[in-house]
Amino acid sequence: MRHAFAIALLVWLPGCAMMTREVRLPDPALVARRGPALCVKVERLADVRPHPQKVGLVRNGFYASTADAITKDDVPGWLTKALQNELSRGAQDCTTPALTVTGTVNDAFADEYWNLDAKISVTLKMSRAGKQLMDATFQGRALKVSMAGSSSEFEEILLAALSDLLSTVGTAAANAAAAN
C-alpha cells in the first residue's frame, strides 16, 4: 500500500508543475490605505511588459520553467485602480483634481521556485497645472514559501507586492505634493 501511495505521489506531483496557472487579480480595495488623501486623477497606466497576460512562472526542482501563470484580467487597469484608491482615498470635494498621475507598468510578475517572489514595478509622473512634481520608478516586492505554486498563491503574493508598492508610492506622492 505504501508503494502504491508513493508511486501515485510521484506521478501526481510533476503533473501539477506542468499546468498553466490561471490567476485572477484580487480587488485592490483589499489593500489597507495609508497616507493622506490627495485630490488626484490617475490616468490609465501604459503596459510596457513584453508579455501582458503573463504574471508568473512555475519552476520544477531543477529550476527549469514548467508552466506560466497567466491572467485574463487587465493588469494596467488593476494597477491604475489601486493607485487611484490609494492616492485619492475618498478625498472630499475633489470634483476637479489638481494633481495628475501618468505612468507605465514595467513589471508585475511572480517567480515560483520553492518560494514565490513577486515584484511589481511602475514608473510614475505626477504634475500640477503642467508642472512636474515627481518622476520616479517604484517597486513593490513580496516573498513567501510556496507549497505548490497554485493560482491562489500567485494571487496572494501579487496582492502583497501591490501593498508594498502602494505604501511607497503614497508617501512619495504626498511628499511631492506638499513640497511644491
- The pLDDT, as a whole number, for residue 93 is 66
Per-residue pLDDT tens over the stretch 97-138: 889 999 999 999 999 998 999 999 999 999 999 999 999 999
Mean predicted confidence (pLDDT) in 16-28:
80
Per-residue pLDDT tens over the stretch 60-102: 888 899 999 999 999 999 999 999 999 987 666 677 888 999 9
Within a 10 A sphere around the Cβ of 151, how many other Cβ atoms? 18
Distance CA 45, CA 100 (A): 12
- What are the grid coordinates assigned to 162, written together? 501591490
For strands 115-128 and 131-145, give the pairing.
Answer: antiparallel
- The pLDDT, as a whole number, for residue 26 is 86
- The pLDDT, as a whole number, for residue 17 is 60
The CATH number of domain 2-179, selected from 1.20.1260, 3.40.50, 3.90.550, 1.20.58: 3.40.50
Exposed (0-12), middle (13-18) or buried (19+): which is 7, by Cβ within 10 Å? exposed
The more confident residue out of 172 and 33 is 172
Within a 10 A sphere around the Cβ of 73, how many other Cβ atoms? 13
Amino acid, res. 37: A
Domain boundaries, the chain: 2-179
CB-hemisphere CA count at 13 Å for 105?
Answer: 27
Distance CA 169, CA 140 (A): 9
- The pLDDT, as a whole number, for residue 98 is 87
β-bridge mates for residue 21, sequence order: 69
